[in-house]
Structure 1
Amino acid sequence: MSSPETVANEPLVLAVPKGRILKELRPLLDGVGVEPEAAFDDPDSRQLRFATNLTGVEIVRVRSFDVATFVAFGAAHLGVAGNDVLMEFDYSEIYAPVDLSIGHCRLSVAEPTSLSASDDPSRWSHIRVATKYPNVTRRHFARRGVQAECIKLNGAMELAPSMGLCRRIVDLVSTGGTLKANGLVEVETIAEVTSRLIVNRTALKTRPDQVGDWIGRFQEAARHAA
């Protein structure tokens, strides 16, 4: 077991997601005073771990779904994750103190436009759904008394209905353009989604001043960006 002195001297690690959210997060990193090394902003770099301008603060860049896992198991002390990911994994080891108000989208149920013309979601009793959110999907429909058979896919959800895999999907929706291009329409919203600052609960207990300071910095940066 690490001593308090050892814990205090370990680098503080912030896990951030790749992709669209990272572009929105970048100004907030400037707002909290974190400047990653040059490779962080190099689109050709395959580097995943980065030093910063702050001694003892590092950044790791991982898949959005993996941010929560890195933080929950203590590999990272802080992270940025959408509440869709937090709902799916429901890790008790994670505390989410700050809504950063970035990454706005929604988690929705969608089906073919041709089906929606005659379909009545209130009459569903059993449905088959393609999604990368099986836990959220099952819980959502269970609350409605609907049995949901979930087919786990990690991408290209919009293909599932046209390929005969299922008739409905649950996925993140931003503009709805991808759904429309694939002949689908939203029929129900499960949750509104934004990205949150997340914290490992053990890190908050063992490094309260340091971690608490970063929570305050992100709160202030999010408030100014609003």
Structure 2
Amino acid sequence: MEQRQNPARLNFEARETAILAAARTLFADETWELVTIDQIAVKAGIGKGTVYKHVTSKDELYARLAIAIDKDLLEKVEAIAERDPPLVQLAAYIAAFWTLAALPAPESHLADYCGRASFRRRLPVTMRAEWGALEQELRDRLLRILRQGVSEELIEPKSDDLLLFGVQAALAGALRLAWRSGAGAGRPERADELARFIISGLATKQGRKALKKTPSLAAD
């Protein structure tokens, strides 16, 4: 029997969606840090007090938008076919991350800002836990791919920490470079180059041979 959703819950979720949509629209400007809760409430068509039922500060609102970006990324990562060879899966994972390079400037600035440890510490414990769990899912999927590559002797065996560190550091650096230079949007060939760079640093001799036989790893 199909369960009916609670109307109050639906209304709460609809208001939250409206708040985030209004904030995203207002933040689509280089002066996004000057946007006020009052402006967001007016744009969303709801009272200022109602906004504060969903978030207690602008920091929480920034975090909600950044979490939404990570949720969208996780959907892309979860769509990677686990039946594919591990190097192809890894390239697809890298390509999914590279889609963040095409975020509009204000949104990428927001994501960069929200990634700071000092910002995270200001968030409520529950929100930090929610975000941390989401990031852990992204790490876990990456680690499964890397471990599969190790088991098939395509990736050099290392500790989990070192396997993750190299890939995550390269991805974080590439994204920040793209956000600052505007080099990400409309440049899918860079995803392929980034994938080859990262995988070459991890691959065994057998893995590098497999890499050479693949004309384009991340074109899709």
Please, what TM-score do these two structures have when normalized by structure 1? 0.29
Which structure is richer in relative contact order (CA contacts within 8 A, separation 6 or more)? 1
As a proportion of its length, which structure holds more helix?
2
As a proportion of its length, which structure holds more strand?
1
Please, what TM-score do these two structures have when normalized by structure 2? 0.29
